[in-house]
Structure 1
Amino acid sequence: MDVLGVDACGKQGWVGIRLTDGAYAGSLVGIRLDSLIERAAGVRVIAVDMPLGLVEKGWRAADLAARALLGVRRGSVFLIAPRPAWQEREYVAAADRCQELTGNRLSRQAWALAPKLFEARACWLADQRLHEVHPELSFRTLAGGVPLTHPKKTWRGQHLRRSLLAGAGIVLPDALGEADRVPADDVLDAAVAAWSAHRIARGTAGRVPEAPEPDAEGRAVEIRF
């Protein structure tokens, strides 16, 4: 059983880690997500670290629930504005619209996700195999339900995350091939997304919230882990 975990990696586009029966089976890097997915022929589930489902008003219950679970890592979850805010072309207009619909303004950090969010959302709407994940929720689950205390860009944080993955049977080699040029934290996030994809495929993955909200297109707004 093949699955794919994907993380955005700045100007390099997207990095994917493929698993076969839960074990590392290669990496992919591509500027466009749809092209990367096309190259990953035969995968059953694709888990993407990017907001996919959007609500019409208020903050997404998935983000609020994820923050509640993550404790010290809660800041890694951006609050994602309702769909009408993303239809604006400029940040100020989007933030104003978000204020109307949630009572608070959209952060600039969240707005910076817009290009990748639109790209991933288009793939999600076209392909039922795609699911939204958040790496820190997945790593929390790998660590026995305890949020990791060290950030993913620190030496100790990266060592801990790689060790947790290895303990789950995902041994990342020193030479990754295509992903050799990708920052280590993005590789780790893609790998744990793949771990969640494997759990989704097996029917053992968790989700927040327990009762997902509906997206305007009819799909569930949820984060899997």
Structure 2
Amino acid sequence: MTYIGLDACKTGWVAIVIDDAGYRDVFIAPSVRDADERGISEFDARIIVVDIPIGIPNSGSRAADTQARKFIAPRGPSVFPTPVRAALEAESYAAARAASLAASGKSLSAQAYAIRERILDVDGYRDRARIPILEGHPEVSFRAMRGTGIEHAKKSVAGMSLRHQLLDGEGISVPFGVESSLKGAAADDVLDAAAMAWTARRVARGEADRIPAAAGSERFSDGVDSAIWF
């Protein structure tokens, strides 16, 4: 069985393909639809886990985000608050900030707004996907692999080394420097996508956990069972 993990990059999505034996391949997908279709046609993939919020709040914040921040301490700030739907649909950052204030009482960070197009890409396609697409977060998955918090930032030398070691320990040996062949991808994007592929494999095997733990505990107007899988 084959599994795909996706992480956003400058040119779309870094897609890591693994199977039960370990690392298989990596490619750039311009859209989540492309990742879905290519994953099936070339690799017979069965599931995708993506580092992007799935399940968009109409107001307030998501329990998934709040609980994930606590779980991955001290790396909690890497979980950005999911923008409310009105902010995602706004046509400018200024309009998005105003919409966020009106709906949640909080402004919208530039980091959260920067992933707007990626959120909408997944949100607009997930119901038409040929295989399941679930949400994950790399820092949540790496925390689960290690069994305790990770003190090193992912872009640091120590942080990248540790994340490589954790993936190796799970049988996913990502080639060093593979990002050099991927337009718009950085080394940490590749490692994050690999963590999402690890999560996809765990979901397919029935080994995964989720935040929040209870199924169906958080739903918004889009009807999605909002959860971060790991």
Match of 1:49 in 2: 51
Where does residue 75 of structure 1 map in the other structure? 77
Q: Does 1:213 align with 2:218?
A: yes
Asked if 1:130 corresponds to 2:129, the answer is no
Which residue in the other structure is 2:99 paired with? 97
TM-score by length of 1: 0.93
Are the aligned partners of 2:164 and 2:191 in contact in 1 as well (CA < 8 Å)?
Answer: yes
Instruction: State the partner residue of 2:5.
Output: 5
Cα pair distance change 1:22/1:221, threshold 3 Å: farther
Structure 1 contact 51–117 (Cα < 8 Å) conserved: yes
Is the alpha carbon distance of 1:101 and 1:180 closer, same or farther for their aligned partners in structure 2, counting shifts above 3 Å?
A: closer
Q: Residue 55 of structure 1 contacts residue 216 of structure 1 at CA under 8 Å; is this kept in 2?
A: yes
**Normalising to structure 2: TM-score of the pair?**
0.91
Deviates more, 1:88-97 or 1:105-114: 88-97
Aligned match of 2:39: 40
Residue-pair matches, total? 223
Superimposed CA distance per residue, residues 35-78 of structure 1 (whole angstroms, 9 cap, x where no aligned partner): 12211112111000111210221101111111111111011000
What is the Cα deviation at residue 30 of structure 1?
2.3
Identical pairs, percent: 38
Question: Is residue 3–residue 19 contact of structure 1 (8 Å, CA) maintained in 2?
Answer: yes
Q: Which deviates the most, 171-180 or 133-142?
A: 171-180
Task: Answer yes or no: is the 8 Å Cα contact 2:56–2:222 preserved in 1.
Answer: no
Confirm whether residue 61 of structure 1 aligns to residue 63 of structure 2: yes
Q: Give 5+ residue unaligned stretches, structure 1.
A: none
Moved over 4 A (4+): 175-181
Alignment correspondent of 2:192: 189
What residue in structure 2 maps to residue 28 of structure 1?
A: 27
Any stretches of 5+ residues in structure 2 without a counterpart? none
